[in-house]
Copies of this chain bind each other. A is one copy, B any other.
C-alpha cells in the first residue's frame, strides 16, 4: 500500500478510486448519517423535530398536482457541492461556468429537490484574462436564470501564476424538498419490476471535451450535453412516481447503474440486480466511433445533462412519453429493468447477444472532464 499513499488522477475519476477515498477517508472522519447516505446531495430539515418517520408520504400526497405545495412543512432541504476543473475551460456546448451551474442544479434535482440558491467560489490564476472571466460569469448568470436559481454568495481567490490552471469554480446549492419526494435520494422503494430510463444520448460531454483537447473534427459536431435538468425532472416527479434518480456525470451511465445495483446491499433492501440492454442505450454514431478509436467505452464516458431514473413498471410508458415531450428528453429511452436475479450486480445484454458485467469505473478514463 505504501507506494500508493499519494493522490492519483483516478482519485478524481468518480469511479472506484474516488469511492475508496470517500469511504476510507471522508466518511471515516466526517462521520454522520447524512453524508453516509452518499447521495448526490445531503438532506436535512429545518425543523427536524417535526420530521421523524418522515419518508412516509404525508403532506402533499394525494393532492392534485396543481395545488401541491412546492415546499415542505418540515423544512426539508437538500444541499450539494461540486468543484469544476474542466480543461479546456471553453468547449463545444458550454464552458466551465455553465457546467458549474448545471452540475450543482442537477445534483439537487436528482434527489427530488427544487434547486433554489447557489454559491460560487472562484480560484483564479494570476494573469488570467478578465474578458474570459466575464464570458464565464455571464454564461453562469444565463444558465442560472434559465434554471430559476439565484447565486446568493460568492468568493474570489487569486493564486500566483503557475499555481493553478486559469480558473477553478466550486458551486454549492440548496434546494427545497417536498416530503413526499424524500425517499428518492436513498432509493429505498426500488424493487424488482421497476424499469430504468435515461433522458437521451450517453457520452456526449466526454467526447466534446476529448474532441476539443485533441482537435478532432466530426462530421456533425458533438456538443456537451451540459444542461440543467430540474425542469425535466419536475415534470416527472410532479406527475409520476419515481423510485430513484441519479445524474450520470464522471464515471458515466455505467457507474450510476453500478451504484443503483449497490443499493441492494443496504440493510433491509430488496435483493435485486440490474439488467441492461446495451442496444437500448442511446449513443451517437460519432461518440461510438471516437470511443472505438481511443479505446473508450461510451457507457463510462462523462455526461452533464443525463439523468438515470427508476420508475415503477406500470408507469414506464407514461414517464417515457413525458420525458420525450421535454426538449431535454426527446431522445429518452428505456434501458433496463430491476430484476430478482444476480443481486447487487449489473448485467449488460450486449449487441452481439452476449452478457457482460458492468462495474464502477476503475482508474481514470479522462482527467479533468468536469
B residues less than 8 Å from A47 (CB atoms): 71
| Given A46-B46, A150-B32, A164-B165, residue A25 in contact with residue B83 (CB < 8 A) | no
A46 to chain B, nearest CB (A): 5
A30 to chain B, nearest CB (A): 4
A185 to chain B, nearest CB (A): 11
Query: Would you give the 0/1 interface string for A1-16, flagging 1 where the beta carbon is closer than 8 Å to chain B?
Result: 0000111111111000
Sorted nearest first, the 4 A-B pairs with minimum C-beta distance are: A42-B152, A12-B158, A172-B172, A81-B119
Query: Would you give the 0/1 interface string for A133-148, flagging 1 where the beta carbon is closer than 8 Å to chain B?
Result: 1100110110010000
- Contact call B12/A124, Cβ cutoff below 8 A: yes
- Contact call A35/B154, Cβ cutoff below 8 A: yes
Interface-facing stretch out of A72-80, A302-310, A325-333: A72-80
A287 to chain B, nearest CB (A): 23
Task: Judge whether A239 is part of the interface by a CB distance below 8 angstroms.
Answer: no
Query: Would you give the 0/1 interface string for A89-103, flagging 1 where the beta carbon is closer than 8 Å to chain B?
Result: 000000000000000
Complex Cα–Cα for A43 and B174 (A): 12
Give 19 A-B contacts (CB < 8 Å), ordered by A residue.
A5-B130, A7-B126, A10-B158, A12-B159, A25-B134, A30-B144, A34-B117, A42-B153, A44-B152, A46-B77, A79-B153, A79-B174, A81-B120, A83-B170, A85-B157, A87-B163, A123-B168, A163-B164, A163-B368
- Contact call B141/A7, Cβ cutoff below 8 A: no
Complex Cα–Cα for A333 and B84 (A): 42
Say which residue of B150, B152, B156 sits within 8 Å of A12 (CB atoms): B156
A5-B129, A164-B168 known, 16 other contacts, Cβ within 8 Å:
A7-B133, A8-B158, A9-B126, A12-B157, A13-B158, A30-B144, A35-B154, A41-B153, A44-B116, A44-B117, A46-B75, A80-B153, A81-B155, A85-B163, A162-B162, A170-B172
B residues less than 8 Å from A116 (CB atoms): 44
- Contact call B119/A156, Cβ cutoff below 8 A: no
- The residue of chain B having its C-beta at the shortest distance from the C-beta of A13 within the complex is B158
Task: Judge whether A296 is part of the interface by a CB distance below 8 angstroms.
Answer: no
- The residue of chain B having its C-beta at the shortest distance from the C-beta of A151 within the complex is B30
Listed in ascending order, the chain A residues whose CB lies under 8 Å from chain B are 5-13, 18, 21-22, 25-26, 29-32, 34-35, 41-44, 46-47, 71, 75, 77, 79-85, 87, 116-117, 119-131, 133-134, 137-138, 140-141, 144, 150-160, 162-165, 168, 170, 172, 174, 176, 367-368, 370
Main SS of chain A's interface residues? Answer: mixed
- The residue of chain B having its C-beta at the shortest distance from the C-beta of A32 within the complex is B150
- The residue of chain B having its C-beta at the shortest distance from the C-beta of A43 within the complex is B152
- Contact call A138/B29, Cβ cutoff below 8 A: yes
- Contact call B156/A11, Cβ cutoff below 8 A: yes
B residues less than 8 Å from A170 (CB atoms): 81, 83, 121, 123, 155, 170, 172
- Contact call A154/B44, Cβ cutoff below 8 A: no
- Contact call A34/B164, Cβ cutoff below 8 A: no
